[in-house]
Structure formats: C-alpha cells, structure tokens
C-alpha cells in the first residue's frame, strides 16, 4: 500500500466564504451574551466586598460579553501547512476561556447566591464555552442547522 501526501499549500490564499446565516448567528450570539451579562450584573452582591463578589459582578459579565462577541467560525479545527492538526478555539481566547472554566469553583465561594442562581451561572458559562467548541469543531453544521441558535435559547432560559 502506498500513502501519498497531498502538497500543503498556503492557507491564506483561500478566500473565506461565510456560511449561510453566519452573520445572523453571530449577531444572535452577541445579543445573548449582552443579555446574560446584564442578568449576572443584576444578581445580589455579597454582604461585604469580596474578591469573588467583584469578580462575579465585573469580570465574569465582561468575559461572557467578550466571548459571545468574539465567536469566530473561521477559527475552527484545521490542518496547518505542515500537515499537523490544529485545534481551533471558535474565537475564544485563552484568558476568557479560563475565566469561564473558573465559574463552578467561584460560585461555591458566593454563598449569598441561591443554589438556583449558582447553577444558572454555571450553565451560562458552560453554554458559552460549548458554543465556541461547537464552532471550532463544525462551524457549518452549528450555523446552518440552528445548533448555535438553540444554545442561545438555553442561555436566555437560564438567565430568566
């Protein structure tokens, strides 16, 4: 058996063609992020100023907004010119991703929030990171079949 590797050409000479409905899907993501951030900012603050309280009130909503605004279907899993597989991020930078991953730990240190509020915070952070991963793995399907839109419906449901 003979294995022939196709020549790897430059990836920057291939023009990007947006998926049908991409602009609308990304606009819906940004809008859902703004609504989720507003809900997080409306949550009660702790009885005394604390690092977790200010993080939940300031950093987390900003991270949610940034993540949903920066989603990028072009940042998907791909092959580099050398033929090595590169994991895409769906547009989510490492700092934002680390803040969202921290949410399950942070809510444990926020006893002034009800268990329902805590679980909703975890759900929102999980949905946002999941949406970025979904875009990284299969942007076309996520956008054209409405999977991404369903994620934002769940975010809206969690923040009501």
Query: In 3D, which of 149, 134, 102, 96 has the Cα closest to residue 121?
Result: 102
pLDDT(109) > 60:
yes
Question: Rounded CA gap, 49 and 52, in Å?
Answer: 9
Least confident range from 25-39, 48-62, 114-128: namely 48-62
Q: 98 to each of 82, 102, 115, 135, how far by Cα in Å? A: 29, 6, 23, 18
Give residue 143's pLDDT: 93
**Which ranges of 55-102 would DSSP assign to H, the alpha helix?**
60-69, 94-101
**pLDDT value at residue 82:** 87
Residues with Cβ within 8 Å of residue 116, at least 6 apart in sequence: none
Q: What is the H or E stretch that residue 85 is in?
A: strand 85-86
Q: Which of 50, 43, 51, 139 is nearest to 90 (CA)?
A: 139
* Spatial distance between the Cα atoms of 89 and 71, rounded to a whole number of angstroms: 9
**Where residue 58 falls among pLDDT bands split at 50, 70, 90?**
very high
Residue 151 has pLDDT above 70, yes or no: yes
Torsion from C-alpha of 18, 22, 26, 31, nearest 10 degrees: 150
CA distance 55 to 6: 49
pTM confidence score = 0.86
């Amino acid at each position: 058996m003979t294995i022939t590797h196709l020549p790897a050409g430059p990836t920057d000479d291939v023009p990007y063609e947006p998926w049908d409905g991409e602009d609308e899907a990304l606009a819906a993501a940004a809008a859902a992020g703004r609504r989720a951030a507003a809900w997080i900012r409306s949550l009660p603050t702790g009885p005394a100023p604390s690092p977790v309280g200010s993080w939940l009130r300031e950093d987390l909503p900003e991270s949610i907004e940034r993540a949903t605004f920066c989603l990028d279907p072009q940042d998907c899993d791909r092959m580099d010119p050398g033929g090595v597989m590169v994991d895409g991020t769906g547009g989510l930078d490492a700092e934002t991703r680390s803040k969202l991953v921290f949410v399950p730990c942070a809510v444990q240190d926020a006893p002034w929030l009800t268990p329902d509020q805590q679980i909703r915070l975890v759900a929102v952070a999980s949905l946002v990171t999941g949406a970025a991963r979904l875009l990284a793995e299969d942007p076309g399907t996520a956008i054209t079949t409405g999977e991404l839109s369903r994620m934002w419906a769940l975010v809206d449901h969690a923040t009501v």
